[in-house]
Copies of this chain bind each other. A is one copy, B any other.
Amino acid sequence: MWTMNMAVLHLPVYTVLLVGYVQAGVADGDVTPRLTFSYNAKERTAKRFSASGVVNFTTLHLSNEDKTLYVGAREILFALNLTDISEVTLHRNFTWETPDRKREECSFKGKDLQKDCFNYIKIFLRVNNTHLYVCGTYAFSPTCAYIKTDNFSLVKSDSGEVVTEDGRSRCPFNPEYKSTAIIADGELYAGTVSNFQGNEPIIYKSLSQGTSLKTENSLNWLQDPAFVGSAYIQESLPKGNEVGDDDKIYFFFSEVGKEFDFFDNTLVSRIARVCKGDLGGERVLQKKWTTFLKAQLLCSLPDDGFPFNIIQDMFVLTPSPEDWKNTVFYGVFTSQWYKGASGSSAVCSFTMDQVVEAFNGRYREVNRETQQWYTYNHPVPEPRPGMCITNEARKQDIPSSLRMPDKVLNFVKDHFLMDSVIRSSPLLLKRNAHYTQIAVHRVQTGSKVYHVLFVGTDDGRLHKAININGKMHIIEEMVLFRNSQPVLNIELDTEKGQLYISSFSELVEVPIANCTNYQSCGECVLSRDPYCAWDGSQCVDIRQTPPNKAWQQSIVEADTATNL
């Protein structure tokens, strides 16, 4: 009976599908969202959070264990209950204000009292089961502290004063500076600037009792970077494997590409990495990274090679820690050259295989006199410079970076840039949109796996998109905020199927799908929303549907998935 229904359905469904396709195509190659929801659209209700006088929701940290969304704003921190972030009675919060003395100092140094001289929360991360770590710009005087999760308050000394730490090299001075931080295995890794002037970029490891590590500034390992993210990849897994590699921390940023000496100030996007077990060198590179390497990420049009050279955000999609080799890096990019009306953006993806290949490939070398960069074609010392300690190195009696031969460390000092460029063509190109943030959800429906992209714009819209046979389809567009303002953060809660999205003055919780919105079978199937399927009488969310329940959906044209 059901089979017959399907047959009857086929014709109208594909007829309408074709129309939808042509409409998108006619718009001059640009991808047009199939549905657009205004701020007040009932069909796509969002839960909202804002508080009088509170601005700059710059930092989000989602904790499923605590059922809490931790939010850092200007001079205030929130713990919102995931049951309902808009429910005020479930909130906890406290202010962390900059003392007047600090603010005056900041102003005295020439900074804007009403803009720069506040405490903007830039780092808000979990350290262990009982504590969070928080850093703020603290009126151009970065400061960090611990928060106890049980009572959501700053850790204080016996005398009742907040125990603070110097935040330099962890948190930027300037609230506008693009920085990143991540905690891996109890250690903080930050990409930021380490001085008041903002001209000393750094990738810094610190926190535990061990030695802190830095990038070597005098060697220009970083060139005016703007950090957009970082990721912890457990490449030591699975335990006991033959290679015996170390876990790694990756950093994503744009910076001045000194290897492009033709155009002044050509920006390039980078992926950089360090090894978790790096302890610095014994004589050479003392207290400095011995494993810092970087490579170019290039997102460019396949035909004319036009580069979207500025990375705006990176989402690292790892199926599971053990399956790190299948990691996909999803980046949103804009171009330094093409501005257009309101710009244009591209989403590019890179695989772990590509990344590994680049870091295992040739190095570049600079001619110190001419400042030109060349491919380094000569023999390389052993163990391979910049690599983590592996079983191979242990066999050579090198159990840590402290025992790495000087010639290897001297080599890596000057050979931190890989020769290979990690390339991708855009998966998604969007005109008249400046993408700022991205989150990607790996969804399995039936036997198929889809990567659903959630992309935020600088005017407060969200695009939900999916790749169908190499072409992107924007399932829906939502206006997120009352006023047009940039999407600052997207946190994806895969367990609850919610997105938490922040901007300057507002925070919204949006379900990743609202299938009941599609009221007919045609609507439901045409949406190409992989979360939704028609069960014979209504459009259901397949994640909430019993596995033995029959449904159908049609993500790919002429390819109807069914669960009969």
Contacts and interface: CB of A to CB of B under 8 A. Distances in A.
Interface in A24-55: 25-26, 28-30
A369 B19 CA distance: 11
A261 to B, nearest CB: 3
How many copies of this chain does one complex carry? 2
A278 to B, nearest CB: 29
Contacts of A268: 304
Contact of A305 (B28, B262, B306): B306
B262 A30 contact: yes
Contacts of A28: 261, 264, 371
Contacts of A30: 261-262
A257 interface: yes
A474 to B, nearest CB: 15
Interface stretch (A62-70, A158-166, A295-303): A295-303
A26 B370 contact: yes
Contact of A307 (B25, B306, B429): B306
B370 A25 contact: yes
A105 B369 CA distance: 65
Contacts of A264: 28, 340
A344 interface: yes
Given A304-B298, A307-B305, A307-B306, A429 B369 contact: no
B301 A262 contact: yes
A361 to B, nearest CB: 15
Given A29-B372, A263-B340, 20 more contacts: A21-B370, A22-B369, A26-B369, A26-B371, A28-B264, A29-B261, A30-B261, A260-B301, A260-B303, A262-B344, A262-B429, A263-B306, A264-B340, A266-B304, A268-B304, A300-B305, A305-B305, A305-B306, A306-B306, A337-B337
20 contacts: A21-B370, A25-B369, A25-B371, A26-B371, A29-B261, A29-B262, A30-B262, A257-B304, A259-B303, A260-B304, A262-B429, A262-B431, A263-B306, A263-B340, A266-B304, A268-B304, A296-B303, A300-B305, A304-B309, A306-B307
